[in-house]
Amino acid sequence: MKKTARILFFGVFAALATVASAGDITGKIILNGAPPKESLLPLDPLCKQLHGSKSATTRYFVVGKGGALADVFIHLKEGVKNPPPPSKKPVVIDQKKCEYLPYVVGVQTGQEIHVLNSDPVLHNVHPTPRVKGNPEKNFAQLPKGPPLKFKYDNPEIFIRFKCDIHPWMYAYVAVVPHPYFAVSGVDGSYTIKNVPAGKYTLEIYHRRAGKMEKEIEVGASGKLTANFTLNAPK
């Protein structure tokens, strides 16, 4: 076998071996107890008009049927070795009806975040990181203007994005040094795909209900289920 062919063969073999030794982590997050009542947002007349007859409230606890809890950030806190480089595909946050969507999002260190403004009003995008080396920036963004781009090289959970023009507008970005993370949906479920086989500390983090950890082991193939229950604050 020629040298070039051998290199190609072993490269393909290594790639297939990596895929074969990866599994998915799935689960569901449940909130035990009744969440605190949400507050109405103090919308100005124009933003209120965008919402029409529907009222807008805070989104501290988005709870579905059976206590399913959304907006929980789930990630591998410990155990990840040799993480892949960040995706070239940006994470997108939009501004619609004077709210940031999504409210909670995850991103890998070095991965771009693109913030859009789909509203017919002026916004400003003002992330306020706390970790040294993650820069604080503040940009005005015209209606339907081009995306504003951000990138963070240091892990931080959560970086707050706010709009100083509309002080009720917030989004929270969780930055971790690998792609093995997820955010729970409205049904409380989550999936972290293609996790290399190994032992890890899996952490969930909700901004108001707190954190919880679980030691897990991902096998060479198949799925691992890790469910959690958080208690509503009293």
Q: What is the pLDDT of residues 171-204, one digit of tens each?
A: 999 999 999 999 999 999 999 999 999 999 999 9
What is the arithmetic mean of pLDDT over 141-151?
95
pLDDT at 10 over 60: no
pLDDT at 39 over 90: yes
Report the pLDDT value the prediction gives residue 163, as an integer from 0 to 100: 97
Nearest to 162 by CA among 112, 135, 125, 130: 125
Tokens of 180: 């093995």
Report the pLDDT value the prediction gives residue 150, as an integer from 0 to 100: 97
Write b or e for each residue in 186-216: b if 16 or more Cβ atoms lie within 10 A of its Cβ, otherwise e.
Answer: eebebebeebbebebebbbbbbebeebeeeb
pLDDT at 14 over 80: no
Give residue 149's identity as a one-letter amino acid code: K
**Spatial distance between the Cα atoms of 172 and 105, rounded to a whole number of angstroms:** 6
Q: What is the pLDDT of residues 99-116, one digit of tens each?
A: 999 999 999 999 999 999
Query: Percentage of residues in the chain with pLDDT exceeding 90?
Result: 86
Neighbours of 155 (CB within 10 A): 15
Report the pLDDT value the prediction gives residue 2, as an integer from 0 to 100: 52
pLDDT at 20 over 80: no
Which stretches of the chain are DSSP H helices?
3-20, 45-51
Report the pLDDT value the prediction gives residue 5, as an integer from 0 to 100: 44
pLDDT at 1 over 80: no
- Answer yes or no: pTM beyond 0.85: yes
Residues in the chain: 234
Report the pLDDT value the prediction gives residue 4, as an integer from 0 to 100: 45
Of the candidate ranges 5-14, 55-64, 66-75, 126-135, the one whose mean pLDDT is the lowest: 5-14
**Spatial distance between the Cα atoms of 191 and 196, rounded to a whole number of angstroms:** 14
Q: Tell whether domain 23-231 is in CATH 2.60.40.420.
A: yes
Of the candidate ranges 9-18, 20-29, 72-81, the one whose mean pLDDT is the lowest: 9-18
pLDDT band with cut points at 50, 70 and 90 for residue 22:
confident
